[in-house]
Each structure stands twice: as C-alpha cells, then as structure tokens.
Amino acid sequence: MHITIIYTICQCVIDKIAIALYSTISIKVRLQFFITGGFNMELFWFKGKNTFPNGIHPHEHKDTGEKEVRRIPFAPEVILPLSANIGKASIPCVKKGDSVYRGQKIAEADGYMSVPIHASVTGTVKDIALAPSPDGGMARAIILATSLTSVQTVDYSALRAIDEMSKAELIKAIQETGMVGLGGAGFPTHVKANLPEGHKVKTILVNGCECEPFLTTDQRVMLESLPELLLGIKIVMKCTGAEKAIIGLEDNKRDVYDAIKNILPKDGPISATLMPTKYPQGCEKMLVTALLNIEIPAGQIPSSIGVGIFNVTTLAQLGKLVPSKNGLIERVITVSGPGVARPGNYVVPLGTPLKFILEHCGWSGTAEYVVLGGPMMGKTVSSLDAPITKTASGILAFDKTLADLKKNEREYPCITCGACVSVCPMRLNPSTLGLLAKKERYEEMRDNYNLDLCIKCGSCTFICPSNIPILSLIQTAQEINKTKK
Ligand code: SF4
Ligand code: SF4
C-alpha cells in the first residue's frame, strides 16, 4: 500500500517536471514533434555550440584540400560576359580589333550597382557579341584572342597604404577592382562594404566554412594567402566601421585554424572560431546563428542586425588588388569529381572555357556530366564552351550523368517519416511544401508555409528515403509565384 502511494507521488512529480520542461520548448519545436512523430534531439536539447539547428552530413570528398594551387595555361580564346554579377552589366570601352594587355580595363561600370571588367590575357578583341553563358543560353561578352606573348605573372606589390586611404577612397578602389562576391553570390563587394543609411556594423563574419562537398578553394586560399586575407579583412573593417572580425571555419579545416592562430595576436580585433562540420553551415543565416547566436529576421540583410558577412576568397583577393591597384583577372577554382584524372585547385584566368580547363585536368566528356559549383547547390552546365566567371568556385565532372544516377532511384509516396523536417535549417516543412507543389497550390505554399524562406540548400531532397525531388518542386513553385507578381 505504502509502496503504491510513494510510487504514485513520484510519478506525479516526474509528470510535473516533464510538463514544466515541455512548456519551455518553443511552439515550433512542439509542432515539429507532432509533425515528425519524434524529437530532433539536437533541436530539443540545444542547438549545439557554434552551430545551427538541423542540417546534414554528406560525404565530404575534400581530398583536393591537401594539394597546392597550380596555374592553368592560357586558352587560345577567353570569353568575358558583360553581365556576370548581380546589378547592371558593364559597358565595353574597347572595340573589335583593339590590342589589350593583361589587367587592362576593357569595360566600365555602368553606375554604382555595377563593376568594371579587366582583360585576363594579353591579346586582341576578337569580337563583342553573344557567346555561351554558364547560366545556359547566350550572353553578350567581350571575346579576346590570346597572344602567344601573354605572360601569367601579375605584379601585386603594394603601391598604396590602406591606412592612409579614407573610407570613400577605399569604396571607390574596391569598385575599381571589379570585385564581386566570389563565394557564388556575385554581389558587388563595394556595395556590401558601403552600408545603407542608418545601418551600423559591429562584427564582420568571414565565411571560411566551404560546406559544399568536393570544394576546397577557400581552404587553399586561406592556407596560401593568409597575409592578403588579413589585409582584406582590415579593408572591410575600415569601410564598415566594424570593431571586430571572426573567421568562421568548419572543424575539417583544422590546418587553416592552426595557421591563423599562429599569426593572430591573442586579444586583437580579428579572431578565428571552429565550428562542427555540417551542411549548410556556409549559408549566411546559418553562419550568423552559429557564430553569434542571433538570427537574421526574414526579409532583412545582415547589416540590419549589425553584421557584415564576406567570403574568405573575396577578402584575400581584395587584400591583393586594392593595395596594388589591380583588377580581378583570375581566381582559384577546385576541379574535382570521379571523372577527373588530375583533380586539384587551379588559378584560372577569368573567361577560360570550361572545356579547356577540364581537358587540362584529364577529363573529356559532354556537358551533362559537369556541375558548376558544389554538388548540393551547383548547376549542371548547358555548354562546355561557356567560360569560368568570377562567381564559379569549382567544376565537378562525374562519370555518370545526373539522369543516369537517378535512373534507379524510383520515386515513392511520402511515408511521413519527418526526416526532411528534422534536417531543414530554416525549420520549414519540406514534406508539406512538396505535397502542395504537386497539387499546384503555389500561393498557399507562399502564404501559409513560408515558401520564400527556403534557401534552396537541398538538404530535404538529400535525406528523403522516398526520393521525392522536394527542392525542384519548391523551386518550380517559387518561379511560378514570381511570374504571377
Ligand atoms: S531546400 Fe529549403 S525546404 Fe529543403 S531543407 Fe533546404 S531550406 Fe529547407
Ligand atoms: S518527403 Fe520524404 S523525408 Fe519528408 S516526410 Fe515524406 S518521405 Fe519523409
């Protein structure tokens, strides 16, 4: 009898504690519990130190990270599209038949939301005409025929001291380099460094996550161009008035972390933080949550919450180009994938055709085997005659086409397992979004299920055991809603 009473009292106390604990959990988590039929333990207990809730762990394939960057020879012809970034296209300042030298400005910026273009080879302007574009189709471009006398070396010795330049002079100098976000976004860097009226940045986050499988460009740039990276950080700190900068690295780049720690003073304004390796850590929203434990409100830019975010390769190039008064004419890319005989990281003159690069790396095949960028967020290319542009960080060549890979992946009905919900970093319900998309209820997806918050990371598609192409359903819905606006 006594034992029964004691047992009942204990049971009541345990229940009370459980209810009290449960009531402290956010509504979103409780909803997730009901949707998925179980807790995502990471989200339930805590989001973890220096990370964000949810996400996935695809196989890394980062073996090129151990190889030093090498140069690729000049292609006989380079294609420099006039519109290869967010903003307005550039205006050519050369004409067909002109001789140009490597580094010469060949197109002017068309206003503030635009950047100039510089010749990546010494040679002759073959034409200013439509040419294959990496986005598919054709785009207006300056086509240069490379001279046999063109040399690769560029003089990056400093001609001016950053400390002696005013903020306005720095912003102008950044625009003159033609720099845009090299991490893939393509947003003009001078616009990002020049804060909108009323915005104040306290912290710069330097994005060195490189969370996409295969890509190791940022890793090599950090290891081989550390002084330039630190100078680039100082430039954007001066432009934005930020007091401190944090270099965010995933813990699969411990070599970079050790190298940075070795040269940074302990209590200086620039520091480095390691984060657990997880995809999509490199997305801006995830990075802010992981490093600062705050969120960028929907529809707002990072500077609205006092944060500036820049990619490491962008800043390393800034640290090279601004002091030496050079323009952006080349970049480092990762060339990898099972079809490539000589994978690695290469310095490539902008405008070099993809086919030329791939052949140099020991691969010959057709466009449907090739992905520009990482396997999660990159795109299959439509033509190998398309050139490498400022925003491309990698070329991956596979031994099977995407169509071949998917041949055996029959799509099954949703089994409401909740896996997609538990990995979505934006805490959306990809399963419901997919179901609604199939019923073409696109406006309902936008109005009731936060369709526009999707960052297109593809984690839901990656994890789905029923092979439902959730991301492409979401992308279709977003495109159709855009045409209805
Ligand atoms: S693609 Fe969109 S819905 Fe799917 S996991 Fe990423 S953010 Fe979530
Ligand atoms: S869409 Fe796929 S991952 Fe999501 S609940 Fe359905 S079966 Fe599971």
Examine residue 58 and state whether it is found in any structural domain, yes or no: yes
Domain termination residue (choose one: 387, 408, 429) = 408
For ligand 1, say whether the CB of 424 is within 6 Å of any of its atoms: yes
Please classify residue 218 by burial: count the beta carbons closer than 10 Å to its beta carbon, then call 0-12 exposed, 13-18 middle and 19+ buried: buried
HSE (side-chain half, CA atoms, 13 Å) at 54: 23
Which of 32, 422, 431, 461 to probe ligand 2 with, by most ligand atoms within 8 A of CB?
431
- One domain, residues 221 and 261: yes
Rounded CA gap, 114 and 274, in Å?
35
Q: Which residues line ligand 2 (CB under 6 A)?
A: 414-420, 431, 434, 463-466, 468, 470
Q: Which of 6-15, 129-138, 168-177 has the highest mean pLDDT?
A: 168-177
Q: Residue 282: pLDDT above 50?
A: yes
Mean pLDDT (whole number) for 20-44:
37
Task: Please provide residue 355's backbone torsions phi and psi, each rounded to the nearest 5 degrees.
Answer: -60, -40
- One domain, residues 193 and 266: yes
Rounded CA gap, 20 and 13, in Å?
10
Nearest to 192 by CA among 84, 291, 87, 332: 87
Residue 26 has a pLDDT of 35
Residue 183 has a pLDDT of 84
pLDDT in tens, 95-116: 999 999 999 999 999 999 999 9
- One domain, residues 33 and 69: no
Domain interval for residue 310: 45-74+158-408
| Strands 244-250 vs 203-208: parallel, antiparallel or unpaired | parallel
Domain termination residue (choose one: 348, 374, 408) = 408
- The helix or strand, by DSSP H or E, that contains position 249, with its residue range, turns out to be strand 244-250
Q: Counting ligands in written order, which one lies closest to the CA of residue 469?
A: 2
Distance 189 CA to ligand 1 centre (A): 27
Q: Residue 73: pLDDT above 80?
A: yes
Q: Residue 151: pLDDT above 90?
A: no
Our CA angle for 330, 335, 336, nearest 5°, is: 165
Least confident segment among 41-45, 137-141, 292-296, 350-354: 41-45
Distance 449 CA to ligand 1 centre (A): 12
Alpha carbon of residue 352 to chain centroid: 21
Residue 404 has a pLDDT of 66
Distance 405 CA to ligand 2 centre (A): 20
Examine residue 138 and state whether it is found in any structural domain, yes or no: no
Which of 436, 468, 472 to probe ligand 2 with, by most ligand atoms within 8 A of CB?
468
Mean pLDDT (whole number) for 420-430:
96
Task: Report the CATH number that the domain containing residue 31 is assigned in CATH.
Answer: 1.10.1060
Least confident segment among 26-30, 104-108, 219-223, 428-432: 26-30
- One domain, residues 170 and 284: yes
Which is more confident, 409 or 352? 352
For ligand 1, say whether the CB of 457 is within 6 Å of any of its atoms: yes
Instruction: Kindly state the greatest CA–CA separation across the chain.
Output: 103
Which of 286, 376, 424 to probe ligand 1 with, by most ligand atoms within 8 A of CB?
424
Q: Whose CA is nearest to atom 6 of ligand 1?
A: 457
For ligand 1, say whether the CB of 426 is within 6 Å of any of its atoms: yes
- One domain, residues 344 and 424: no
Distance 396 CA to ligand 1 centre (A): 23
Rounded CA gap, 349 and 109, in Å?
20
Atom number of ligand 1 nearest to Cα 280: 6
Which is more confident, 449 or 154? 449
Position 343, amino acid: P
Residue 321 has a pLDDT of 97
Do residues 144 and 213 lie in contact, with contact meaning Cβ atoms separated by under 8 Å? no
Least confident segment among 136-150, 216-230, 303-317: 136-150
For ligand 1, say whether the CB of 456 is within 6 Å of any of its atoms: yes
| Strands 244-250 vs 123-132: parallel, antiparallel or unpaired | unpaired
Residue 408 has a pLDDT of 63
Distance 461 CA to ligand 2 centre (A): 9
Residue 252 has a pLDDT of 95
With pLDDT > 70 as the criterion, what percentage of the chain qualifies?
88
pLDDT in tens, 431-479: 999 999 999 999 999 999 999 999 999 999 999 999 999 999 999 999 9
- One domain, residues 328 and 414: no
Rounded CA gap, 418 and 435, in Å?
13
**How many domains are there within the chain?**
2
Domain termination residue (choose one: 408, 428, 449) = 408
Do residues 318 and 38 lie in contact, with contact meaning Cβ atoms separated by under 8 Å? no
Do residues 278 and 56 lie in contact, with contact meaning Cβ atoms separated by under 8 Å? yes
Residue 150 pLDDT level (bands cut at 50, 70, 90): confident
- One domain, residues 429 and 392: no
Rounded CA gap, 343 and 334, in Å?
8
Residue 40 has a pLDDT of 39
Q: What is the mean pLDDT of the chain?
A: 88
Residue 2 has a pLDDT of 52
- One domain, residues 10 and 34: yes
Examine residue 414 and state whether it is found in any structural domain, yes or no: yes
Residue 1 has a pLDDT of 43
- One domain, residues 289 and 167: yes
Task: Report the CATH number that the domain containing residue 283 is assigned in CATH.
Answer: 3.40.50.11540
Distance 449 CA to ligand 2 centre (A): 16
- One domain, residues 421 and 350: no
Q: Residue 169: pLDDT above 50?
A: yes
Residue 37 has a pLDDT of 33
Tokens of 18: 């459980």
CA distances from 108 to 31, 35, 89, 327, 422 (A): 53, 54, 9, 12, 48
